[in-house]
Amino acid sequence: MSKLKESTKITATEPVNLLGVMQPIAGDASFKNLLSMHQLEARDILDYINEAYAAEKLIRDRDSRGASILPHAVMKAVMRQPSTRTGGSCTTAMRKLGGAAELISGMSSSSEAKGETLADSWVAFATQSDILGIRTADDYGAMFAAQVIAQGYERGHLWQLVPVINLGDGRNEHPTQALGDLFTIHKKFKKFDGLTIVFVGDQARYRAHHSLMIGAYKMGMSITAVESPVAKVPQALVDFLGDKLTITDDLDAAMRRADVLYLGRNPDEYDGDDDAELERSQALARDYIQWIVDRQRLQQMSPDSMVLHPRPRRDELQTDVDTDKRMYDVQQMANMIPMRMAIIARHLGKSIINSTK
Ligand code: CP
């Protein structure tokens, strides 16, 4: 265990399962970690979606605005990268379930400043929580946390195994975002099979794309990636998606065929400073300009299609689209609350559906 480091050299989207922390959910999420969409099969995704529908009903009841399903349970959302949506929606979700929640933003208040290791920090948070949400700049950061927590439990130092929910690990995955995205797609189309989803952006480093590609594949959707030569879909993901994946550089043709258009910003916080990175960064910035979607460009999409963006957005999605009825990106954000309620409840052994019958 001492050899584990937060930064690893594993290729993004390659499943890892050290200490068995990335168990298949297989119909029962109780006290398991949620680290990757690779843990889920279609029936698991539908379970989360059905729970999210029940959660949505609860929070839209103006008399109750939630329910006491997890009284006294505590969630900490530890966001080691900036976040407006994910951390806050997790704390809201936990409170709507009757539990308590704390958002820890950035690292400035961490005892790492006094020389504590990251591993020791995760164990400390585990002693204070019943469930931990974690965002890291490092690929596989949530897996690392889950491993040190599992080790603490195996040694008998922690009295309970605290589930770790990956709220975005570097350039790898963002599984709770993908589950909320799938919920949003299901709310509109009531199905997945036969739908085509088109992804636009940095296919190599945009984690929301990776998780949703895996989820869309599992739900039987066809996937198109509009790709830059300098920011390609990782080979492990290309191999996994097989003939469900089409790669193109023609955004307009892809938009005309899309049921769902999924945009993402340029994740340039991961840019390095050597010559190769500078070249990549300049080439990708030029591609993002070619990919800008505005109101006029949107008109070529089917009237029954939808546009999603996990936000934050930059120029790639112009604000003049905001009144178009194909835009579902604000509903997408709102849908994250019931979906994260579903995730928290299921990973703490509860069903919102069964608790509210
Ligand atoms: N979609 C998303 O992850 O947003 P934040 O970075 O604001 O959490």
Are residues 44 and 139 both part of a single domain?
yes
Q: How many CB atoms lie within 10 A of CB 290?
A: 10
- As given in the structure block, the two tokens for residue 129 are 């929580």
pLDDT band at 16 (very low <50, low <70, confident <90, very high): low
- As given in the structure block, the two tokens for residue 284 are 């990708």
Looking at per-residue pLDDT, the higher value among 13 and 80 belongs to: 80
For residue 310, give the ligand 1 atom closest to its CA.
1
Count how many domains the chain has.
2
C-beta of residue 80 within 8 angstroms of C-beta of residue 107: yes
Owning domain of residue 298: 175-334
Query: 224, exposed or middle or buried, with CB in 10 Å at 0-12, 13-18, 19+?
Result: buried
The string of pLDDT tens digits covering residues 27-64 is 999 999 999 999 999 999 999 999 999 999 999 999 99
Are residues 210 and 330 both part of a single domain?
yes
Looking at per-residue pLDDT, the higher value among 185 and 2 belongs to: 185
Are residues 115 and 184 both part of a single domain?
no
Give, using CA atoms, the residue closest to atom 3 of ligand 1. Answer: 86
Inside any domain, residue 254: yes
* CA-derived radius of gyration, the chain: 20
C-beta of residue 110 within 8 angstroms of C-beta of residue 116: yes
Q: Spell out the residues 6+ positions from residue 115 whose beta carbon is closer than 8 angstroms to its own.
A: none
C-beta of residue 75 within 8 angstroms of C-beta of residue 91: yes
Q: Spell out the residues 6+ positions from residue 67 whose beta carbon is closer than 8 angstroms to its own.
A: 58, 96, 97, 98, 352, 355, 356
Give me the phi and psi of 228, to 5 degrees please: -90, 145
pLDDT of residue 74: 98
Are residues 105 and 192 both part of a single domain?
no
Inside any domain, residue 302: yes
CATH of the domain at 41: 3.40.50.1370
Using the predicted structure, report yes or no on whether residue 5 has a pLDDT greater than 80.
no
How far is 82 from 316, CA to CA, in rounded Å?
A: 20
- Residue 112, helix vs strand vs coil: helix
Q: How many CB atoms lie within 10 A of CB 31?
A: 14
Are residues 248 and 200 both part of a single domain?
yes
The string of pLDDT tens digits covering residues 168-204 is 999 999 999 999 999 999 999 999 999 999 999 999 9
CA angle, residues 40, 344, 41, in degrees to nearest 5: 10
**Average pLDDT, integer, range 316-332:** 98
- Residue 25, helix vs strand vs coil: coil
How far is 84 from 311, CA to CA, in rounded Å?
A: 9
Residue ranges in the chain assigned as alpha helix (H):
42-59, 86-96, 118-127, 141-154, 175-189, 207-218, 235-241, 251-257, 275-290, 295-298, 329-347, 352-355
**Average pLDDT, integer, range 344-352:** 98
Inside any domain, residue 13: no
Are residues 179 and 168 both part of a single domain?
no
For residue 68, how many C-alpha atoms fall within 13 Å in the half-sphere facing its CB?
2
pLDDT of residue 109: 87
Residue from 32, 26, 24 nearest 343 by CA: 32
Q: How far is the CA of 310 from the centre of ligand 1 (A)?
A: 7
Are residues 145 and 230 both part of a single domain?
no
For residue 174, give the ligand 1 atom closest to its CA.
3
pLDDT of residue 357: 84
Inside any domain, residue 125: yes
Are residues 232 and 313 both part of a single domain?
yes
Ligand 1 within 6 A of 310 CB?
yes
Give, using CA atoms, the residue closest to atom 5 of ligand 1. Answer: 83
Are residues 329 and 339 both part of a single domain?
no
pLDDT of residue 108: 87
Residue to substitute in 210, 212, 311 for testing ligand 1 pocket (most ligand atoms within 8 angstroms of CB): 311
For residue 336, give the ligand 1 atom closest to its CA.
1
Are residues 108 and 29 both part of a single domain?
yes
Inside any domain, residue 289: yes
Are residues 345 and 330 both part of a single domain?
no
Inside any domain, residue 94: yes
pLDDT band at 3 (very low <50, low <70, confident <90, very high): very low
Average pLDDT, the chain: 94
Are residues 37 and 26 both part of a single domain?
yes
Residue from 46, 84, 281 nearest 167 by CA: 84
Q: How far is the CA of 154 from the centre of ligand 1 (A)?
A: 33
- Residue count of the chain: 357
pLDDT of residue 136: 97
